[in-house]
Amino acid sequence: MSLYERKVRAFLDEIAEASPAPGAGAVSAVVAAMAAGLIASAARRSPDWVEARGISAQAQALRSRVERLAEANEEAYLEVLALIDGAAADGGRDAAIGKALDTAAELPLAIAECSYDIALLGAEGASHAARGGAEDAAAAAVLAEAAARAAAGLVAANLVSIPGDERTLHAQRLADAATGAAKRAVAASAAR
C-alpha cells in the first residue's frame, strides 16, 4: 500500500513500530506536504489577497513533489538497509552501498529544498493571508523548517564517509534559510 493510501492512525502506528520504515526521511517529507497543504488552504481562504491563487498553486505543486519524494525516500532507505544487511552476510558490496547511500542522500536533499520553498511560502502567507490563514501559514513555515532541518541531517548522515561534500553544506544552508523564513512567518503572524 502506498504511503499516502494509509490511514493517518495506521501511518502513525507504523512510524512507532520497530521497523526502520517509514523513517525520518519519509516522515519529514510528509510533514512538509502537510505544511504545503496548510499554506494552500490559507491562501484559498484569503479572497482579498491578490497573489493567493498563485501561492496556493505553488503550495500544491510543492506538496505533490514532496509526496513523491517521501515514497522514493522510503524505497531508497530500505534498499540501503538491504544492501548493508547483505554486505554483512557476505563481507562485501562497498561500491553498491556507497552508490545507494549517494542516491539516498539526493532524496533528503530534494526534501530539504522543497521544505525551504514551503517555509518561504509560509512566510508570505503569514504576511498576507486573511486572519486565521496567516496563523496557519506561520505554523506551516515552522513545520517546513523542521522538515528541512531533519532532511539536512539525513543528507549529512548518508554522506558521513564523504567529509565536506557540497550536498551536506547545501542542505545545511537550506535548513538555516528555512529557519529564517519560519522566524519571519511567526513574527508577521504575531504582528497582525
* Domains defined for the chain, CATH in brackets: 3-191 (1.20.120.680)
Which pLDDT value is given to residue 90? 58
Which pLDDT value is given to residue 3? 61
Percent of the chain with pLDDT over 70: 93
Residues in the chain, overall count = 192
Which pLDDT value is given to residue 43? 98
> Which of the pair, 160 or 175, is modelled with greater confidence?
175
Phi/psi region, residue 23 (left: phi>0; alpha: psi -120 to 50; beta: rest), is: beta
Which pLDDT value is given to residue 104? 82
Give the single-character DSSP code of 130.
P
- pLDDT per position as a tens digit, 13-64: 999 999 888 999 999 999 999 999 999 999 999 999 999 999 999 999 999 9
Which pLDDT value is given to residue 79? 85
Model confidence, pTM: 0.91
H or E stretch at 114: helix 94-128
**Cell numbers at residue 15, please?**
512510524
Does residue 88 register a pLDDT over 60? no
Tally of CA atoms within 13 A in the half-sphere of 25 that contains its CB: 27
**Cell numbers at residue 74, please?**
522510503
> Which of the pair, 96 or 38, is modelled with greater confidence?
38
